[in-house]
């Protein structure tokens, strides 16, 4: 059976332009875009690899997708790849954001602009929920099993959305518990 992840970036330049394209597509929430591009289209990684790398990227300081781009760049081309992927994530999006900030400054008080931005928040929430559902299928092989993973996800949602606890406290407590439980399950 052929390897489902037979592809890899061809060069640091490929990383730069691929991550530039990802960054320009993903304003307001890139998780859905990154998963689709890296796993489904480019096939640089499997869903399981994506989930593992995304989990690491989330616990590192800084923007998750930037952390992920650095990890992928480093994996394939070392420091050159990490810097190329980082530059791809930041260069053109930064220029675009600066231009949009100048434009927004002129129209910020217009009610239609405020309404459009509120509507984009709903779309971003839907994208995140959709990717979460899609990625849930890949935890079937997780050592803790689906029920416990679902319980941890539900507790996280309750803590963050229901109780409005800061990520600073939720991540070490629930994420730490998940790590310890998985480690104990895998320990000989």
pLDDT at residue 63 is higher than 60: yes
Overall number of domains in the chain: 1
Confirm whether 48 is domain-assigned: yes
Mean pLDDT of the region 131-149:
81
Mean pLDDT of the region 42-53:
89
Confirm whether 62 is domain-assigned: yes
Confirm whether 89 is domain-assigned: yes
Instruction: Give the Å distances, CA to CA, from 2 to 5, 6, 7, 157, 160.
Output: 9, 8, 11, 38, 41
Question: Cα–Cα distance between 180 and 146 in angstroms, integer?
Answer: 17
Confirm whether 16 is domain-assigned: yes
CB 23 within 8 A of CB 66: no
CB atoms within 10 A of CB 125: 12
Query: Tokens at residue 110, please?
Result: 């217009």
Give the structural domain span for 20: 1-110
Mean pLDDT of the region 50-62:
88
Confirm whether 102 is domain-assigned: yes
Q: What is the pLDDT of residue 2?
A: 40
Radius of gyration of the chain (CA): 19
Confirm whether 188 is domain-assigned: no
Within 108-144, residue ranges assigned H as helices are: 111-136
CB 44 within 8 A of CB 144: no
Mean pLDDT of the region 56-70:
89
pLDDT at residue 3 is higher than 70: no
Confirm whether 129 is domain-assigned: no
Mean pLDDT of the region 104-119:
80
Confirm whether 78 is domain-assigned: yes
> Which range (8-17, 27-36, 69-78) has the least confidence?
27-36
Question: Cα–Cα distance between 160 and 171 in angstroms, integer?
Answer: 10
DSSP state of 137: G
Query: Tokens at residue 158, please?
Result: 């309750």
């Amino acid at each position: 059976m052929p390897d489902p992840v037979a592809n890899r970036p061809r060069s640091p330049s490929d990383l730069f332009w691929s991550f530039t394209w990802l960054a320009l597509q993903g304003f307001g929430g890139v998780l859905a875009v990154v998963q689709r591009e890296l796993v489904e289209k480019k096939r640089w990684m499997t869903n399981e690899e994506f989930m593992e790398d995304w989990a690491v990227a989330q616990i590192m300081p800084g923007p998750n997708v930037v952390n992920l781009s650095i990890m992928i760049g480093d994996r394939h081309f070392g420091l050159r790849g990490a810097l190329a992927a980082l530059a791809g994530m930041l260069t053109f999006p930064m220029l675009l954001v600066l231009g949009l900030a100048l434009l927004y400054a002129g129209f910020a008080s217009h009610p239609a602009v405020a309404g459009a931005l509120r509507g984009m928040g709903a779309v971003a929430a839907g994208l995140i929920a959709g990717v979460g559902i899609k990625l849930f299928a890949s935890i079937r092989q997780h050592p803790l099993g689906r029920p416990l993973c679902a319980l941890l996800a539900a507790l996280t949602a309750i803590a963050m959305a229901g109780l409005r606890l800061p990520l600073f406290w939720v991540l070490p407590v629930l994420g730490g518990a998940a790590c310890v439980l998985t480690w104990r399950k895998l320990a000989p």
